[in-house]
Amino acid sequence: MLETLLCSLITILPDYLFRRYVQGKRIGREITFYSVWYELRWGIISCLILTISLIAMIFYYHPSTSNAVAAYRTVPILPETRGRVQEVFLEPGLVRKVKAGDPIFRLDSSQQQAALETARRKVAEIDASMAVAKAELDAAEAQLRQSRASLKQATDDLETKLELQRRNANVVTTREIERLQNIVDSRKGGVDAATANKKNVETQINVLLPAQKASAEAARAQAEVDLSKTLVVAGTDGTVEQFSLRVGDVVNPMMRPAGILVPDDAGRYGVIAGFGQLEAQVIHPGMIAEVTCISKPFTVIPMVVTDVQMHIAAGQLGATTQLLESANAQPPGAITAKLEPLYEGGFAGVPPGSSCSAVAYTSNHKRLASGDAGFLEGLFLHMVDTVAVLPAAILRSKALRLPIQTLVLSGH
């Protein structure tokens, strides 16, 4: 209606004035109800063409949508393991503010505590084995020194006998030399055995036992982590809703949450708006926008487009056992854009999840200021920027009309 009235001022009205005051035709005589079309046909046709063009230009370059919502996501209160509730720190049924790290409830931890105690005992056992191995190392070193001393004694006896035999062959018999040589070989074997025993003990101290201790400490750390998972705490600052857990309840992380945690910053940063696919070439980050929400009537909030999701959700495919049938495809989806307040605190007072209407405005100020546009192009860009006042007026009329329509005309 507004576009038609505006276009009629430069089409139908001049046509009528020309025929009335130039041609001298009068309403009720030459210009009647039946002759309006014939007399004003050029003005009417021009008005219709101009109105359609103006409406198309307005809604293309300044897209609007009623599919805008202050979207937010809640955090389910769930343990990481299944178990029976042993202690509840919040009163069921009451909405309560919590801080990050505040305890909410605790599961039965007898099994985890037993596993932790077993892991601790295993570490203590390895520490004891380490002390025993050090004592065995001292014994191995002592045995090695004893074997080396016995080898030296046997070697000296053999050398003495060999020297005597060299001086006088009849003093020492060959059998005696062979016996002493066997003793020396045996003592050498004892030294090698003592050396190997010492290396074995050193390997246990330096490699085996530290590895076993590291494994035991890792098992202890795992047991401590499992024990800590039995205590469920708030992961962020927020409000606990729908919490009705009691001692003795069984909580399953797959099917049965204990409640819902709504973060304090949920839905406080802006709205998610869905624009038509036709605006895919127009909508872009940096565009100035405005929204009005049902939960905050008579208020228009200046916004800015911060992100545009160019992937349309209606066309996504999932792995199934059937071939894709294009006839069963979903209806055309929307271009999803994220809008944030232009000024700090501009979204205050809008509850998360509010339904809103949004308008995004195309601005050609930088293009016009650069001087790159020609005369006709500059005239068109000026026209595009000027007609933004129409969707802005429509949005403000909607902000004024919505409370009355909801409270009075809807019958609620």
Between CA 396 and CA 62, with CA 72 as vertex, the angle to 5 degrees is: 35
Q: Indicate whether 410 pLDDT > 70.
A: no
**DSSP characters for 17-47?**
HIIIIIS---BTTTB-TTTHHHHTHHHHHHH
Residue 360 has pLDDT above 90, yes or no: yes
Q: How would residue 412 be classed by pLDDT, with cut points 50, 70 and 90? A: low
pLDDT for residue 320 is more than 80: no
Higher pLDDT, 26 or 232: 232
pLDDT of residue 172: 66
pLDDT digits (tens, 9 = 90+) for 81-97: 888 888 888 876 666 88
With a cut of 80, say whether residue 309 has pLDDT above it.
yes
Q: Is the pTM here over 0.85, yes or no?
A: no
The mean of the pLDDT values for the chain is: 82
pLDDT of residue 121: 92
- List the chain domain ranges: 1-60, 62-72+267-315+331-412, 75-105+230-261, 110-221
Across the range 291-300, mean pLDDT stands at 89
pLDDT, position 159: 78
Tell me: pLDDT of 208 over 80. yes
**Which residues, in sequence order, are bridge partners of residue 361?**
288
Give the pLDDT confidence of 115-167 residue by residue, as tens digits. 889 989 988 998 888 888 888 888 888 888 888 888 788 787 777 777 777 77
With CA atoms as reference, report the closest residue to 131 among 240, 209, 69, 223.
Answer: 209
3-state secondary structure of 113: helix
Percent pLDDT > 70 in the chain is 89
Q: How confident is the model at residue 181 (pLDDT cuts 50, 70, 90)?
A: confident
The answer, yes or no, to whether residue 225 has pLDDT greater than 60, is yes
What is the CATH number assigned to the segment(s) 62-72+267-315+331-412? Answer: 2.40.30.170
242: confidence class by pLDDT, cuts 50, 70, 90:
confident
Confidence of residue 10 (pLDDT cuts 50, 70, 90): low
Confidence tier at 34 by pLDDT (50, 70, 90): low
Q: How confident is the model at residue 361 (pLDDT cuts 50, 70, 90)?
A: very high
CA distance 200 to 198: 5
Q: Which CATH number fits domain 75-105+230-261: 1.20.1050.10, 3.30.70.890, 2.40.50.100, 3.20.20.70?
A: 2.40.50.100
State which fold the 110-221 domain adopts: Helix Hairpins (1.10.287)
Per-residue confidence (pLDDT) for residue 263, from 0 to 100: 84
